[in-house]
Chain A
Amino acid sequence: MNDLIVLPILLPLLGAAGSILSGRSRLAQRVIAVTTLSLVVAVTIALLVEVDRDGVVVSQGGGWPAPLGITLVADRFAAMMACVGSIVLLAVLLYAIGQPGAERNHVGFQSVYLVLAAGVSASFLTGDLFNLFVAFEMMLTASYVLITLGGRHDQVRSGMTYVVISLVASALFVTTIALIYAATGTVNMADLAGKISDLPPGVRSAFAVLLLVVFGIKAALFPLFFWLPDSYPIAPSPVTAVFAGLLTKVGVYAIVRTQTLFFPADSRPAKLLLAMATVTMLVGILGAIAQGDVKRILSFNIVSHIGYMIMGLGLFSVAGLAAAVFYTVHHIVAKTTLFLTGGLIEHVGGSSELSRVGGLVRTAPVVAVLFFLPALSLAGIPPLSGFVPKFALVDAGLAGHQYVVVGVSLLVSLLTLFSLLKIWAGVFWNPATEAPDAPVHEVGRLGGPVLMVLPTAALVIVGLGIAAAAGPIYALSQRAAVDLLDPHPYIEAVLHP
């Protein structure tokens, strides 16, 4: 069954190749992409079930034993992320097919999107630090193309910022890998876990901070977040949705993986992480409140909510990490849904600026419902999926005596609600005060093309499902957190199968 772990990376790459070959027929491209991603969803669900039942699944590339071969590893956290990621990728693909725009006008969209999917899966499943770099590059190169697809002037402008900042992060990543290899003589993650703990404490701390900076740029942590609200809103809305939902979370995954696996308890930068989490939450949400555009408010919200996940990590307790894992799962789904409804708003109202759209609660009531549920969920209103991880985080923070960060997180929840209600009031309730940029589409009862509304509705239902199954998912997150804090089974599974 170890071959299962290769499929989430291999299938999208094969699909991308097929998609390039069938470039003449848009229908064939769509069939290939949808089939591939549906298969990946099935495979990752099977993988998650297997990992949760039998423990860590390992595959050694080419049959070379670790640390020589290229290792793929799936533990509970990685399998959960890969599973949620593939579901979101499939939903967004369907939405992109339904939307007039990006996907229909560009022959390369499907193949690049599949390469992005492969990169995301590879980042979650790799067990090798250099392979993580390659997976990141695969994902980022695809994202560079997606963000500038169309080549409009504003896309080129913000695309440049995005590409340049990502490349600086990549150059830093290569440098960090070089330094780590020089100090330890290996790039296999499980092998590194043992060898880094033999280094002097100063060197260990330096590596911890270097890795935090490298992945902090990708995850948009406080001093390194400025590129995100500039570049994300410019891309076509399905592209923005998948970036918002997944790319930053891949950064968070890498931070959690490296900080817990590599470093023993005494050289983890817990205080630094908590301080960064606090400031990230505050700065992000204050930025969101100041904006006047749906996509920009949501983009600043991403920054703010990355802080919650890092807060859970910074506590370095089972409860904190379990909350962080659950929060990441919830946030991927909720945020993608919100950006997809942002695209629907743009489609229905002709603009995403609050002053140019209005009264959508009457003209497009379905879109209003599709926005309202994930918005309340993101703010952490009780019956919805955001409440459980937020409650768990606050509980874990109080247990760890981190009162400042808990207080800030509660305040930020309130401000999140405020920023989302600003969208609600501006777009759905109040009339527009200025004319929209684009012509308003004639919409039926659904409030958009069926293929745009259905995937969004499906993701809303997944979000409600997370809320309904909060008990089992939290239990799974707790098991994942136990694995993260005690990586011995992971190391044993890779090095001594």
Chain B
Amino acid sequence: MSTTLAATAAILFGVGTYLILQRKLSRIIIGLALLSHGGNVLMMVSGRRGRAPIIGTGDPSTFSDPLPQALALTAIVISFGVTALLLALAYRSWQLAGDDEVQDDVADRAVAAGGYRDKEVSDEEVADEDRPDVDLHDHAPAPTEVGDAQTGQRA
């Protein structure tokens, strides 16, 4: 019995971990729910097995341990509330972006890209100042446009 429950907890953890590593928030939410179920199942296994613990119905030494059940119940209620909040977040994300994909840290990407961009730009500006014939190079596409226009006229 205990082994079955422990194996169930292990499978829930495995599947939950896989789902959390996905990009879509809806899958992450299901993954989180499975993870917390895994924790709760493990919580149930941690106590003693036995009859329903109601005072006056029998010998207390045959009762199951009621504490982990109470703890698991609390944990279930908490994860229920937070899952509802997450679903609302996913819905809001879908409203705003038409998608519930979890994106990367935007500002972090900007910092990572920005450091290099600044350097290259400044190098080119210095190089441009040194080279007078660079103007020609910059306006290189212009004749093509004229050429295209001429071709159009001819056609």
Contact = CB atoms under 8 A, between A and B. Distances in A.
Interface of A: 130, 133-134, 137, 141, 144-145, 148, 151, 153-154, 156-161, 163-164, 167-168, 170-172, 174-175, 177-179, 181-182, 187, 229-230, 233, 290-293, 296
Nearest to B112: A290
A168 B32 contact: yes
Contacts, number: 115
Contacts of A159: 89
A134 B105 contact: no
A174 B75 contact: yes
Contact of B42 (A144, A151, A178): A178
B39 A157 contact: no
B30 interface: no
Interface residues of B, number: 41
Contacts of A163: 82, 85-86, 89
B68 interface: yes
Nearest to A144: B85
A177 B38 contact: no
19 contacts: A134-B78, A141-B85, A144-B82, A148-B89, A151-B96, A156-B93, A157-B103, A158-B105, A159-B89, A164-B86, A168-B20, A170-B82, A171-B16, A181-B46, A181-B71, A233-B107, A290-B115, A292-B114, A296-B107
A177 B43 contact: yes
A141 B82 contact: yes
Contact of B32 (A130, A164, A233, A291): A164
A182 B49 CA distance: 12
Contacts of A164: 20, 28, 32, 86, 102
Interface in B54-86: 67-68, 71, 74-75, 78-79, 81-82, 85-86
Contacts of A156: 89, 92-93, 96
B97 interface: yes
B78 A181 contact: no
A31 B43 CA distance: 43
Contact of A293 (B36, B93, B103, B107): B107
Nearest to A159: B89
B155 interface: no
Contacts of A292: 111, 114
A168 to B, nearest CB: 7
A171 B32 contact: yes
B125 interface: no
Contact of B25 (A133, A134, A160): A160
B108 interface: yes
